Structure 1
Amino acid sequence: MWTKCIAVGVFMTLAIGSNLRVVAETLPGTQPLTRNGDIAAQMVAGIDRFLLGEIEASILERAKHWEWDFSSPELHQQAIAANQARLAHRLGVREPRIPFDAPSLLATTETSALVAQGAGYDVFAVRWPVLKSMHGEGLLLVPVDRKIVADIIALPDADQTPEQIAGLADGLPAESQFARRLAESGCRVIIPTLVSRDMARRGGRANLSNREYVYRSSFVQGRHVIGYEIQKVLACVDWFARGQDDAEIGVIGYGEGGMLALYSGALDNRIERVCISGYVAPRERIWQEPISRNVFGRLERYGDAELLSMIWPRPCVIEQSAHPTVTLPGEGGAPGQITTPTDEEVRREIARAACTDHLIVGPVDGDQVNHPCGQMLASFLPAGAKLVTVDSAVKVVRMIDAAARQQRQMEEMDAYDQTLIRANDFRRKDFLKDLKTSSVDAYEESVEKYREIFYDDVIGRFDRPLLPFNSQSRKTWEEAKWIGYEVTLDVFPDVFAYGVLMLPKDLQPGEQRPVIVCQHGLEGRPTDLFDGKKAAYDNFAATLCEQGYIVFAPQNPYIHQDQFRTLQRKSNALGKTLFSTIVPQHQQIVNWLKAQPNVDPQRIAFYGLSYGGKSAMRIPALVPDYCLSICSGDFNDWVLKTATTQHKFSYVWAGEYEIYEFDLGGTFNYAEMAALICPRPFMVERGHFDGCGDDEWIAYEFAKVRNLYQAKLHLTDRAEIEWFIGGHEIHSQGTFAFLNKHLNWPQSLP
């Protein structure tokens, strides 16, 4: 004989007194879950739709960030000053440039600085200082025995050399050699070398373009390959502006050079005229372009139309020419492409500008591809200057080793980035100077400011309310000691959370137990944590549930390779990250768990491995409902790991191109993220042979955490690290004891 007992307020229905158990197919208060197929893929697709909608909405949203005033140049400058400073910051144009009297001529005892002679001008190999240990390098075209009609910075596309646009090397037709044509017309022209898109295996692993290689180390430190090149342009502007010839200063570029001309003109009103060819377009698909064009928050405020408006009242020539045709493979680097927008798309973007009376827009000149063309060059020249046509060829005196010059430019940028890594320690210390450690209460009050900064400026916050749960569930697993339910929860339109709720079978009516949210790693599934098929996880979710804990294993969206990595690209365009969506998912999960009758809302913990360890640093920092956090297989000197080109464990060599978050170098390394978790308990699980980093760097970063918890706040038992002989895996020893202690759970290891 057996008795059926329906437990009021308990997650499941049991039959007591026999071996028979009758278990509900859905959780109380939830609707039946009817989704089938790959729910993780459906979740990623939903986030994708949400982000694309946010990108489209950003076009109209940008207006609220601007208060234009075109009544005078002075008032216009005042009106755009804050957005100008913000743009410079996002582009990494931060440090003051090194003053110099004039570029240095590059010559040796065996070679002259003179490399060519044209009709009325000489061409020199030159170099000029920009930042500490960083120089610009390229060609200087100087008129001979005549007045300089304009001082021009001419910028080729990234896959063109200065020699090509100056007519010294093959590759471009004469009409497209715009630097040469400007020099023939009486302009002094300087041509910086740009970092190219040439591909190479880095560290024997990821196949990256030169531009992405520089981008990676720069971006995480708040700098950018674009910003470094803008600094080189503006260093030339500094030099021209100190001159005595009163010549107007102009910037002209094609492709990537057009991009730099647009940014430079928007940032510096000493540039008196701008010409952009092969670049202006709607930017809502910037996430498809090469990742080296990724500027954090670009679409929040700055479409191309807004940048063009910033140049007012200075004349800006826009040529609707064909853009460079670029396709970059996804072979460890970010796939990307550049295509030519339709004329209608370009016209619509230009029409969005707040003022267009300073814009001179021209069509494609016949079938010419690599521009600017003659018509646009004539429009670009100052009043009174005339574009001339010269039939004589340029006389080349000597050829320059362009490959060696390219390597020097890259190495200097990399060297600069590497010096920032340790300097950033001091920046972060100064950044956190307002933290109060006189007491735990004072600390908790003062840390809230930094939590807001982390969410708003680093992770990125979607300022919208969470939807009602609309919770759905179905029973999918039943083991000897626990039952597993798949659960979905609505978060935002098109965004839902999905995971597995694991319930011990010995739950009693009215009993409240702690919950451990167990997080999988890259390309993982909730099942990896309890089905015993992946040794690295040590079946830890199932083991914890067998010990009596309620367990929730969420599906995080870092799955399906480029499908999820493009979510980061789309998010970055909006000033957001992957975690801008993941954090609300977890907030909704925690909100739902706290509403369940058998959950103790004060005892919900987080424990994640690998990418789940990255989650353990970021999510509890922003979801204070998590009462503790355990980071396994990921804790590191994170800025070093993502920016170094000196260590084998660096992400610079890896295929996770989405891993880079803007300006962690100056704000939140892992010690600072742990500071946002403090005073809640925090633990690191570290295998000595885990290739994610070297022991000394993990210890270096954790020492800062220990100092905060133990030395400053006297929280002597709340910050721990367990070192074990093993690799990238869950160890299930010290961490389980840590959970039992801080969740006040009496169970011991089996």
Structure 2
Amino acid sequence: MREHRWKIMSTTILDSRTFQPLQPAHQLWQLYAPESAPYRFQAQSVEDAQTWQTRTRAALNDVMGFQHLPCVDFEPKVIEIVDKGDYVREKVLIRTTEYSTMPVYLLIPKTSTRPLPVALAFHGHGYGVKDIVGLWEDGNERETPDGIQRDFGVELCRKGLAVAAPEISCFGERQTDFSYLRTDIGQGVPSTCDHTARLAFHLGGSVVGLRVFEGKRLIDYLETRPEFDTTRLGAMGLSGGGMHVFFSTALDERINACVICGYYSTFKDSILAMHHCACNFVPGLHRFGEMYDVVGLIAPRPMFVEAGNYDPIFPIEAVKRSVEIARNRVYRVFGCPERVETDYFEGRHRINGARAYDFLREKIEH
């Protein structure tokens, strides 16, 4: 029998310091330096902060992309009106651009005096806006809060606020039709978020920019409705909806107060540290430092941060650290660190609501 000789290769076990340079992210992390970002918050006085805000808000608009799309007539079409007893739910379609239509649910309390203060309600990942206005994914009515978003649009309405809840781009009725793909020969169907984000990157913008633009158009539309008082305007959202609230409040000064649930922390410890949908990313955002720097575009308006101690994608210690920096480095310049409030609750990635709903109502009615 012929003898086979196998050459045994010796293997060297690399320690962590030797192994790190083999990882591409190791090199990129060396370039991550929010402390030297050109648009980081460095103001030491209110006057300096206001100058910084004007310059930085314009620069962030440009980085987001799609903030200068041509506006068209809204051409509103009311699809349905449903009497829910203590409030009315209206569904309306509005045009945001020549090529884009956005469904919006309006929850209008019956008992409050007109014109009504308004809360923008931005849903996160899931089956879309129905999940925050008391509807199951098949459109059937739901009378008991469910899931991580807990029908928070309905809860805000029952606090006496008119609620405007849009179907955010890439979710629900606004998903891309990929029926042309040859799935029979192995072509997979991408998620709408991922595909739209990559297309937006190719065009020099971001899905975040698209969503912020449409949020602005929604406020423009609400200003045409006499039953709404948009001088008393707030915003609340969870996860991707919290991201929407964060950047929309930073870039649109018409929003008087905001509630950010399951999002506010640091880019380094969350968005850049683990898997997140591509719709969270904005090319060039590093020039604006960390989340607590961007907060300078929200200050001195009231901000509420809600976070669960077992949230796996927005680590609670990073949330707390970022909140303290926002209070002591940013809001203190404006003389109002107390305007950053928190609810650190026991739980995972979800809405809590123990203080958030009352906070938003109080701050926008103040």
Tell me, yes or no, whether TM beats 0.5: yes
Aligned partners of 2:159 and 2:357 also within 8 Å: no
Q: Given the alignment, which residue of 598, 605, 630 partners 2:259?
A: 630
Q: Given the alignment, which residue of 328, 340, 352 partners 1:719?
A: 340
For the residue of structure 2 that corresponds to 1:468, the secondary structure is coil
Larger Rg: 1
In 2 relative to 1, CA 572–711 (structure 1 residues): closer, same or farther, beyond 3 Å?
same
Aligned residue for 1:427? 36
List gaps (5 residues or longer) in structure 1: 1-398, 645-649, 746-750
List gaps (5 residues or longer) in structure 2: 1-8, 135-143, 176-189
Aligned mates of 1:725, 1:463 — CA distance in 2: 42
Aligned mates of 1:683, 1:483 — CA distance in 2: 27
Matched, 1:552 2:164: yes
Matched, 1:501 2:106: yes
Equivalent residue pairs, number: 327
One-letter code of the match for 2:36?
R
State the Cα RMSD in Å: 2.6
Aligned residue for 1:44? none
For the residue of structure 2 that corresponds to 1:629, the secondary structure is strand
In 2 relative to 1, CA 464–563 (structure 1 residues): closer, same or farther, beyond 3 Å?
closer
Aligned mates of 2:94, 2:132 — CA distance in 1: 21
Aligned residue for 1:698? 319
Aligned mates of 2:302, 2:229 — CA distance in 1: 17
For the residue of structure 2 that corresponds to 1:743, the secondary structure is helix
One-letter code of the match for 1:577?
S
Matched, 1:737 2:358: yes
Aligned partners of 1:519 and 1:554 also within 8 Å: yes
Aligned residue for 1:415? 26
Aligned residue for 1:448? 54
Percentage identity across paired residues of the two chains: 19
Aligned residue for 1:186? none
Matched, 1:619 2:248: yes
Query: What are the within-5 Å matches in structure 2 for residues 304-323 of structure 1?
Result: none
Aligned partners of 1:684 and 1:720 also within 8 Å: yes
Aligned mates of 1:414, 1:535 — CA distance in 2: 35
Aligned partners of 1:475 and 1:483 also within 8 Å: no
TM-score (norm 1): 0.41
Aligned mates of 2:165, 2:312 — CA distance in 1: 25
- Cα distance, 1:659 vs. partner? 3.2
In 2 relative to 1, CA 558–673 (structure 1 residues): closer, same or farther, beyond 3 Å?
farther
Matched, 1:600 2:229: yes
In 2 relative to 1, CA 620–711 (structure 1 residues): closer, same or farther, beyond 3 Å?
closer
One-letter code of the match for 1:527?
K
Per-residue deviation, residues 276-296 of structure 1 (Å, max 9, x unmatched) = xxxxxxxxxxxxxxxxxxxxx
- Cα distance, 1:596 vs. partner? 1.5
Aligned residue for 1:465? 70
Matched, 1:519 2:119: no
Aligned mates of 1:447, 1:674 — CA distance in 2: 10
- Cα distance, 1:412 vs. partner? 4.6
Aligned residue for 1:579? 208
In 2 relative to 1, CA 426–709 (structure 1 residues): closer, same or farther, beyond 3 Å?
closer
Aligned mates of 2:248, 2:51 — CA distance in 1: 19
In 2 relative to 1, CA 461–668 (structure 1 residues): closer, same or farther, beyond 3 Å?
farther
- Cα distance, 1:716 vs. partner? 3.6
Matched, 1:676 2:297: yes
Per-residue deviation, residues 176-201 of structure 1 (Å, max 9, x unmatched) = xxxxxxxxxxxxxxxxxxxxxxxxxx
For the residue of structure 1 that corresponds to 2:338, the secondary structure is coil
Aligned partners of 1:628 and 1:681 also within 8 Å: yes
Per-residue deviation, residues 237-285 of structure 1 (Å, max 9, x unmatched) = xxxxxxxxxxxxxxxxxxxxxxxxxxxxxxxxxxxxxxxxxxxxxxxxx
Aligned partners of 2:79 and 2:92 also within 8 Å: yes
Per-residue deviation, residues 17-54 of structure 1 (Å, max 9, x unmatched) = xxxxxxxxxxxxxxxxxxxxxxxxxxxxxxxxxxxxxx
Aligned mates of 1:611, 1:524 — CA distance in 2: 13
Matched, 1:438 2:49: no
TM-score (norm 2): 0.81
One-letter code of the match for 1:568?
A
Aligned mates of 1:493, 1:713 — CA distance in 2: 41
Aligned residue for 1:288? none
One-letter code of the match for 2:290?
N
Aligned partners of 1:608 and 1:616 also within 8 Å: yes
- Cα distance, 1:462 vs. partner? 4.4
Aligned partners of 2:222 and 2:230 also within 8 Å: yes
One-letter code of the match for 1:426?
E
In 2 relative to 1, CA 730–451 (structure 1 residues): closer, same or farther, beyond 3 Å?
same
Aligned residue for 1:265? none
For the residue of structure 1 that corresponds to 2:148, the secondary structure is helix
Matched, 1:663 2:284: yes
